[in-house]
Structure 1
Amino acid sequence: TVQAELPSANAVIIKQALASGQPTVIDLGARSCIPCKKMAPILEELSATYRGKANVLFIDVREDQAAARSFGIQMIPTQIFFDGKGQEVKRHVGFMDRPDLIDGLKAAGLK
């Protein structure tokens, strides 16, 4: 089976997302981490479903250790939710399923 995966976001994409006025979730993980692999298709689907309403980003911390440091990541996966002003509103460590990701985006302002 082909597994859909979001590309690892770079600093420019992250900055644009946080300045977009839309809620954003950034999943910081690694392609090799089991819970991260399980979340990949969920994130891909949410990215497509909420395109234009919310930003769903993935950062591979093995490729971008600077991002892991700047977001203060201790364990992976970690999901960080930001409101439309780019302010962090929620953080979760570990696997997160689709309903919980949607709840996090709603807490960040998803309509």
Structure 2
Amino acid sequence: MKKEIKLFIIFILIVIIGIMAWFKAVKPKEEYSNIGGDSVKEETLDYEANIGKMPVLLELSSPTCGPCRKMTPLIKEVKEEYKDKVDTHIVDLTKNPEFGDKYKVSVVPTQVFLDKEGKVFFRHEGMLTKEEIIDIINKMGVK
């Protein structure tokens, strides 16, 4: 009986150590960056400076969200193609929760398209294709 208890305790310890090692190895990426490569903080997210000049696209997301990570390259492409026409930002809601409150985000990714005056032109929850993003931008009057 004592031998069975010892084996059981050893087995439990091995399982606990294995679980701890797995959790340590499977961490989400420490840094979720904006298009420029730096972590987005509200004080550096100066999209309001472009209100009146150009529309704004905000990709509201989280580093642990798979669809958000899939959207990142699409947003980067749109940023590059429309760099002088649309002010584009990826906002990490884990570091900037006030954006989630401001734009009433219940699901990530959420895209918020602001017109030149800073008013919400279009809001979408979930993934969009690059073509869908460009179509919305075109409907905002950007060519």
TM-score range, shorter chain: 0.7 to 0.9
Paired residues, number = 107
Q: Which runs of 5+ in 1 are unaligned?
A: none
Q: Which has the higher contact order (CA 8 A, sep 6+)?
A: 1
The structure with the greater share of residues assigned to helix is: 2
Cα displacement (A) at 1:109: 2.3
Aligned-residue CA RMSD (Å): 1.8
Task: Tell me how far apart the structure 1 counterparts of residues 83 and 127 of structure 2 sit (CA, whole Å).
Answer: 22
Q: Percent of counterpart pairs with the same letter? A: 23
When Rg is computed on C-alpha atoms for both structures, the one with the higher figure is 2
How far apart are the structure 1 equivalents of 2:98 and 2:56? 19
Partner residue in 1 for 2:64: 32
Which aligned segments of 4 or more residues in structure 1 are displaced greater than 2 angstroms?
7-12
The structure whose residues are more often strand, as a share, is 1
Structure 2: runs of 5+ lacking an equivalent: 1-32
Q: 3-state DSSP class of the match of 1:110?
A: coil
Taking a change above 3 Å as real, the CA distance of residues 80 and 90 of structure 1, as seen in their structure-2 partners, is same
* One-letter code aligned to 2:79: S
Q: What TM-score comes out, normalization by structure 1 length? A: 0.86
Note the alpha carbon deviations across 1:52-81, whole angstroms, 9 max, x for none. 111111110011111111111111111011
